[in-house]
Structure 1
Amino acid sequence: MDLSRRAILAAGAAAPAGGALAAEVRADDEAHWSKVAALYDAPPTGMIQLENGYFGAMARSTRAAYERHTARVNRETSIYARDAFNADMAAVRARCAKLLQVDPDEIAFTRGGTESMVTLIGGYNRLKPGDAVLYADLDYDSMKTSMAALGKLRGVRVVRIDLPEPADRQNVIDAYEAALKANPDVRMMLLTHLSNRTGLIPPVKEIVTLARARGVDVLLDSGHALGQTEFTLRDLGVEFAGFGLHKWIGAPVGVGLVYIRKDRIPDIDVSILEGPSPRIDPRVHTGTLNFAAVLSVPDAIHAHEAVGLPAKARRLRYLRDRWAEALRDEPRIQVLTPNDPALHAGITSFRIAGRTSREDNLALKKLLFDRHRIFTVERVGVAKGACIRISPSFVNTPAQMDALAAALREISRV
């Protein structure tokens, strides 16, 4: 890579913030964060973009690399794809493994977090008829559908639970423990590291530990956690996980990773498009990759690390707290993650009391945009009703979060 941390941040006129220096960056240092924001293209004028959870913008340095890689691939076509790309791919894999602190032969590339998780859910081969699998209301739609499909595909019983609301550390652990105790035939369960619906981060390590004690394997959907929160798979005790790199790492859309701990690779089936193999790669068969997108991943990781994960995590929580905690005591506004920094990152959803249908929240989303020019997204599938998700990013400011809080106070009192 040709850009140092200093050079990347200099592009936004910021001081270096990677590594140890990131620990010194305050979440409310607006001079610093305005320079970080300058690493990205500004959102459209005349609106406040608070739906950054779909996918994350590439930093300008990553976009430039993507354009450069695209030009090369387009120029060299199969001359590149059938020769030099293999060595380049190995280097990208090593860079991703370093990010996740795992071995390179424990990860494989996918086209996103959904494909990563479907590889694990559909390929998990230790189930037999009479076993059960478990998932929760806050899991992602495609993963819930995949888990439900195992009833037909594997002949197992499918158990769904609703996580407590309001949530806290202990009642979430208790919910999973009670479900496993009541269903001793569960052999595999889905666990979402950071819910795309409400932003809740369950106590992953504790839940994995109690599942393992009952002989239950956990498939961790870590799509929103990577790049927002500090963790290692080894510390969490996780053996299977899926990631998208286009959300909080800022890679081009279309690149994800699946992780399988080395000794567990045989427990995930090889793709039906591949022959028998002990390696992880044949568990996924995507066809022709977007070469330029994959090649740009190290550039995205470099930009991510230049800002610094500890600093990013603090900033996102600060922006979240600026509106969510300001509204905590509003009687008609339900903030759907607790005031515990271990249980949330930047994403948090809210609901206005009594407005629990999808139609209610579509209307609320429209009202926020039409009246206040605040762009959000509705989320459904939560047991206690639909909600609106707020996902700030590094282009957002405290003043914008204050504007959201003021708008919600006004709307909730009508």
Structure 2
Amino acid sequence: MRGLYAVTPDVVNLENGYWGIMAEPVRREFIRQTDMINYENTCYVRQRSAGDFEGVRTKVAEAVGAAVDEIALTRGATEALQLLIGGYNKLRPGDAVLYADLDYDSMQYAMNALKACRGVDVVKFNVPESATQQAVLDAYARALEVTPKTRVLLLTHVSNRTGLVLPVAEIVRMAKAKGIDTIVDAAHSWGQLDFKVSDLGADFVGFNLHKWIGAPIGVGFLYIRKERLADIDRDMGDEDFPEVDIRSRVHTGTVNFATVLTVPAALALHQEIGAAAKQARLRYLRDYWVTRVRSFKDIVILTPDEAGSYGAITSFRLAGKTSKADNDAVVAQLRDSYKVLTVRRAGVAKGQCIRVTPALYTEEADLDRLVEALAVVTDTKAG
């Protein structure tokens, strides 16, 4: 796996949750497509790009297990989810929308904006830390019970803050039983976990292709179950496509053509490696370092070890160190003294934390360096 990636030797990069670097075959294809676009320019775009883009959309739909008319390409999961949240047209004044502390910041902003533009009440609640799957289910059940006017629930499959994998299908069923629609944020899950969109049970989902699938930066897609298309408005009154075409729900103007044209190469490599194999490897790498540091002095692992509750991402903090300054200091120490790159994450109800995200190219020796650094940071060896 390491041979598929060209990675800087100057630092151990354990901040792969931002986006996934392209494997070398994908990078070479991106350069080839970039050169072609620059060379042929609008001669290509005006004559052939529409058919090629439709081919890309078809490959994405097949890979995620959806019909092609349920898929529209976007510039990422953030754009996809903003369009789903902002375009959902069944809300009425007095309704409520619900989200949790572990949901992504941009999606929280989009939910908050519904108060002004739709006249709804916006309710936020906290997911337990560190949670079992049952505790998460109980927390969502309580939130839905105490907010009976909820019409839309935002639900994140894999939290960018802690890496917690939520029992999405069960929560979606719970919500549907109460007549509540769920918009699922799958930005971090597809490619990190082995699943198809039908496994989620949700009618509205936003995905990334530049994280765990490994396409170039700037591409994702949204999914709307075909029977629900009318419940999402056209994007800014789009008239490029018929109202019955899901592509009318996205209007972004000129995109990076080479990025989109490289998606099939990323999907091909993803499928060659195998989703199940990727999931197993990423979980192995996560377990490799977590099992070694759980007993360290004053270290608090936020992500549970329960099967089905994690993938590659796990976050930690030092006991009692919950501020931005506290966690920035640890991130800086790991980076500057040990050449290990991590990232601080805010927004968790019980305090800020540090996210560790290995990638497929990560080796055990990389994680050994993290473990050795944390032993010093926590003064475990001295203790």
The question of a shared fold, defined as TM-score above 0.5 by the shorter chain, is answered with: yes
1:382-397 to 2 correspondence within 5 Å? Answer: 382-397=348-363
Matched residue, 1:271: 235
Query: 160, 183, 191: which is aligned to 2:124?
Result: 160
> Which of 19, 30, 37 is matched with 2:2 structurally?
37
Corresponding residue SS for 1:272: helix
Provide the residue aligned with 1:53 in structure 2: 17
* 1:210 correspondence with 2:174: yes
**TM-score normalised according to structure 1 size:** 0.90
Check whether the contact 1:190–1:220 (CA below 8 A) recurs between aligned residues: yes
- Per-residue deviation, 1:273: 4.5
Q: Does 1:194 align with 2:172?
A: no
Task: Give the superposition deviation at 1:236.
Answer: 2.0
Q: In 2, Cα distance between the equivalents of 1:347 and 1:248?
A: 12
Gaps of 5+ in 2: none
Query: In 2, distance between residues paired with 1:62 and 1:373?
Result: 27
Residues in 2 aligned to 1:163 and 1:218: alpha-carbon distance in whole angstroms: 17
Aligned to 2:376: 410
For 2:304, the aligned partner's letter is P
Q: Percent identity?
A: 49
Which residue of structure 2 aligns with residue 118 of structure 1? Answer: 82
Q: Which residue, out of 19, 33, 43, partners 1:69?
A: 33
8 Å contact from structure 1 (residues 62, 300) kept in 2: yes
Report the CA distance between 1:360 and its aligned residue: 0.9
Q: Does residue 226 of structure 1 match 2:226?
A: no
Take 2:352 and 2:199, find their aligned partners in 1: how far apart are those partners? Answer: 34
Structure 2 counterparts to residues 1-400 of structure 1, below 5 A: 36-42=1-7, 44-275=8-239, 277-400=243-366
- How far apart, CA to CA, are the structure 2 residues paired with 1:143 and 1:348? 21
> Whole-Å Cα distance in 1 between the matches of residues 368 and 350 of structure 2?
27
Any runs of at least 4 consecutive aligned residues in structure 1 with deviations exceeding 6 A, and if so which? Answer: none
With normalisation by structure 2, the TM-score equals 0.97
CA contact (8 A) 1:325 1:339 kept: no
- Contact 2:166/2:309 (CA < 8 Å) preserved in 1? yes
Q: Distance in 2 between matches of 1:194 and 1:106?
A: 22
Per-residue Cα deviation, 1:298-344 (whole angstroms, up to 9, x for no partner)? 00001111111111111111110111122223341111111123010
Asked if the contact 1:317–1:341 (Cα under 8 Å) also holds between the matched residues in 2, the reply is: no
How many positions carry a matched residue from both structures?
378
Query: Distance in 2 between the 1:387 and 1:112 partners?
Result: 25
SS of residue paired to 1:86: helix
Q: Secondary structure at the match of 1:341?
A: coil
In structure 1, distance between residues paired with 2:347 and 2:63: 32
State the Cα distance separating 1:244 from its structure 2 match: 1.1
Separation of aligned partners in 2, 1:376 and 1:308: 27
Change over 3 Å in CA distance of 1:401–1:341 after alignment to 2: farther
Measured on the aligned residues, the alpha-carbon RMSD in Å equals 1.1
Q: Is the 8 A contact 1:140 1:195 kept in 2?
A: yes
Structure 2 equivalent of residue 12 of structure 1: none
